[in-house]
Structure 1
Amino acid sequence: MKLATIRVDGATRAVRVDEDKAVDLGENDLVTVLRRPDWRARAAASDGKSYPLSDLDYAPVVVAPEKVICVGLNYRNHITEMGRELPQFPTLFSKYARALVGAYDNVVLPASSTQMDWEAELAVVVGAEIRHAGLRQARAAIAGYTVLNDVTARDWQFRTNQWHQGKTFEATTPIGPWLVTADDPAVAADGLSLTCEVDGDTVQKADTGDLVFDPAALVSYVSGIVTLVPGDVIATGTPGGVGHAREPARYLTHGSVLVTRIDGIGECVNLCRRERR
């Protein structure tokens, strides 16, 4: 089952995306839907207003999550690429909700950065409130999966040992177009193919089975720090192939077309535009 948040007449609506139409779920956004204990059954049974698929304007799949938690250095090949050792614990940082854009929205390249880099990622959306969860509880609390690109200002990220300032510039992080629920056969495989393209060039290609810490392990770990609530997002990390690690380095520029794709889930296609002050 695919669930999304779309823009309609200046507002947003939560929908189920079927093969031939999108069906209104009776709420303004997907986070509100996920707060209901019976959200799966309600979403599957909804027969509300329908929208043509060709007319859908996708907002970020979760418009205003309480938390966006990101994981660094979580693909074995990317860790090797960056010259580091496999971590004992997940490396965590966060984003603010204003960093998120829809799956087909423009990505804004901030005027203050000249080193904007791509990072294709599988993102987990939480569907239940949990704290100190074991792996089984953590797995059950995953509402589903979506596509995210953690577009990063490398020149800001590496100003200090703390990465946050390079990771949360506004309107830089596409997410969507929908959430594929965790019980959908499309995401049942142990590993999903993840790719990133820039201007038609495939720059990242990996299998999510290469993750050091898988989604359930990440949900469990983070829940030991803070209570996770419906709509929270955990971005699971990026594989090798980032622009900053290339010789010479390559970065996103005004007019770049960024495509982030995960088989079984979907893709984000975003035009990069330089910020105007």
Structure 2
Amino acid sequence: MRYVYFTHQNKRVLGVRTGEGVKILGEETLESLLARGVNLSSYGKEAHGEVVTPDEQSYLPLLTRPGKIICVGLNYADHTKESPYAQPEYPTVFPRFNSSLLAHNQPIILPELSDTLDYEGELAVVLKSGGRYISQQHALDCVAGYALFNDASVREYQFLTPQWTVGKNFDETGAFGPDLVTADELPPGARGLQLETRVNGQTVQSANTDDMLFDVATLISTLSQAITLEAGDVIVTGTPAGVGFGMNPKRYLKAGDIVEVSVEQVGTLRNSVALEK
């Protein structure tokens, strides 16, 4: 099943894609369904609702207030080589906040404070369950599905301190969507899928999810050693080489640019870039 969250007739509604369009399931959010333990794979098939064609500008972030958004840095060795960091032996994690999220086809905002806005195409994991000390063997049982994420970063502020949090949390820089693809529709752990990022049609990032140093099961298991994971939490799994910061000369985003993040079998997340008003 492929879930989308969008505005229809002035209401925020959840839907699933069908061959004819998008079937509206109602106003209950993904967060609520996951908290209730609903099986998303069967729920979308069995529910009845009107089938519509969403306006391309009507999409909303898949989850607007996830309990936790945990991002993973330096999870592709080629990206680490273009960064100022040594390759870590333990996942590099930092938080994203709900206030930074935006949807498919909404503009990523270039802030007034800096001209160092950069793209990072990534695969996101949405959990349906969690806990502490989850084994790698059972970690994938916690996955509801997968989505796309652009962890757009204001590099100047990311590198002001040893912690990256500020530069990763400017308002309207975390693009999330458009579809949540349930885990049963993808290979286990979303392995073997091609990830690409394009800026104005030019491919700037290209890698395979097999290239992740810490795969999805390892990330879930490792994070759960310290943090109680919960249904509705999001893990953003890292970006490969090709970011603007790593280019010579550096190639940061400017107003009017179009950024597309694609993962094979998941879809494409598309956002323009606009100046802060």
TM-score scaled by length of structure 2: 0.94
Mean Cα deviation higher: 7-16 or 262-271 = 7-16
| The 10-residue stretch of structure 1 (115-124 or 221-230) with the greater mean CA deviation from structure 2 | 221-230
The equivalent of 2:22 in structure 1 is 22
What is the match of residue 257 of structure 2? 256
Shift of 1:42: 2.1
Deviation of 1:129 (Å): 3.4
Quickly say closer, same or farther: Cα 1:64–1:9, change in 2 above 3 A: farther
Change (3 A) 1:56 1:115: closer
Q: Is the 8 A contact 1:180 1:187 kept in 2?
A: no
Q: Deviations over 1:118-140 (max 9, x none)?
A: 10001101111322211132210
1:86 equivalenced with 2:90 (yes/no): no
AA at the equivalent of 2:144: A
Shift of 1:84: 4.2
Q: CA RMSD in A?
A: 1.8
1:183 partner SS: helix
Cα pair distance change 1:69/1:159, threshold 3 Å: same
Structure 1 gap segments, 5+ residues each: none
Whole-angstrom distance in 2 between the partners of 1:126 and 1:56: 27
Contact 1:27/1:33 (<8 A) preserved: no
**Structure 1 counterpart of 2:107:** 106
Percent identity over paired residues: 36
Which position in structure 1 is the counterpart of 2:32?
32
Cα distance in 2 between the residues matched to 1:137 and 1:27: 32
- Residue of structure 2 equivalent to 1:70: 71
Match of 1:51 in 2: 52
- TM-score, normalised relative to structure 1: 0.94
Residue 83 of structure 1 and its aligned partner are, at CA, apart by: 5.5
Q: Contact 2:189–2:215 (CA<8 Å) still a contact in 1? A: no
1:238-268: CA deviations, max 9, x gaps?
A: 0000100111111000111111111110111
What is aligned with 1:193?
A: 194
Q: Which sits farther off after the overlay, 14-23 or 168-177?
A: 14-23
Which residue does the alignment assign to 1:202? 203
- Structure 2 residue aligned with 1:7: 7
Q: In the alignment, is the contact (CA less than 8 A) between 1:14 and 1:33 conserved in 2?
A: no
Output the amino acid matched with 1:137.
H
**Which residue number corresponds to residue 179 of structure 2?**
178
Distance 1:151 1:185, change over 3 A: closer
Q: Contact 1:195–1:260 at 8 Å: present in 2 too?
A: yes
Q: Could you tell me how far 1:65 is from its partner in structure 2?
A: 0.6
1:116 maps to: 117
Distance 1:185 1:208, change over 3 A: closer
8 Å Cα contact 1:5-1:63 kept in structure 2: no
Three-state SS of the structure 1 residue aligned to 2:196 is strand
Deviation of 1:56 (Å): 7.5
Structure 2: gaps of 5 or more residues: none
Which residues of 2 match residues 141-156 of structure 1 at below 5 A?
141-156=142-157
| Count, aligned residues | 276
